[in-house]
Amino acid sequence: MVIVTPTSQPFDPEEFFRFSATITRDPTADEARLRSAISRAYHATHLIARDRLFGLDARLFSKSVKKAIRRKIAGDVGSHALIIFAVSEKSKTVGQQLGQLKDARVIADYKLDQKHLAAAGKNSWRDYAEETLALASQVLPSVKRLPRY
């Protein structure tokens, strides 16, 4: 039995990425695990981007900040889209790459029809997980350098 001791250190979201990598490296990983790996890889990058822009647990991501961004983009979008928009204001390509990770996470978590794999040019969940992990590994260093919003 493993006893987890509470710590004062905040959780490092990169642990999600390492978790994803462990699953993806496992040749026996099934579709459920590979979908989970994709989802966690996105969350690792999303959380790091969010906290770089808006502080730990997005404490600076107040209602007024969200409202200001929504007014700017003239759209009632969710918090994940707001983060991607905020990243895009700093770097267009990093924003797009985070968007691709987000799409993969949506497909992995919500879309059960396998035709969605084909839209991304993939024949298997392993291929899709490997592509997503490779992209996440490149995006992570970029989002770690994001300045405060």
Residues of this chain that bind other proteins (CB under 8 A) = 72-75, 77-78, 80-81, 85, 88-89, 91-93, 95-97, 99-100, 102-103, 106, 110, 119-122, 131, 134-135, 138
Q: Which is nearer to other proteins, 12 or 92 (CB)?
A: 92
Q: H/E element holding 6?
A: none
Closer CB to other proteins, 12 or 109, in the complex: 109
| Terminal alpha carbon distance of the chain | 43
Give 14 or 100: the residue with its C-beta nearer to other proteins: 100
Give the residue with the Cβ less far from other proteins, 33 or 117: 117
C-alpha–C-alpha distance, residues 117 and 41, integer Å: 17
Smallest distance from other proteins to CB 61, Å? 16
Nearest distance from residue 111's CB to other proteins, in Å? Answer: 8
The 3-class secondary structure across 92-149, one letter per residue, is: HHHHHHHHHHHHHHHHHHHCCCCHHHHHCCCCCHHHHHHHHHHHHHHHHHHHHCCCCC
Neighbours of 138 (CB within 10 A): 12
Place of tokens 């890889």: 41
Q: Using CA atoms, how far apart are residues 20 and 35, in angstroms rounded to an integer?
A: 10
Closest distance of CB 19 from other proteins, Å: 20
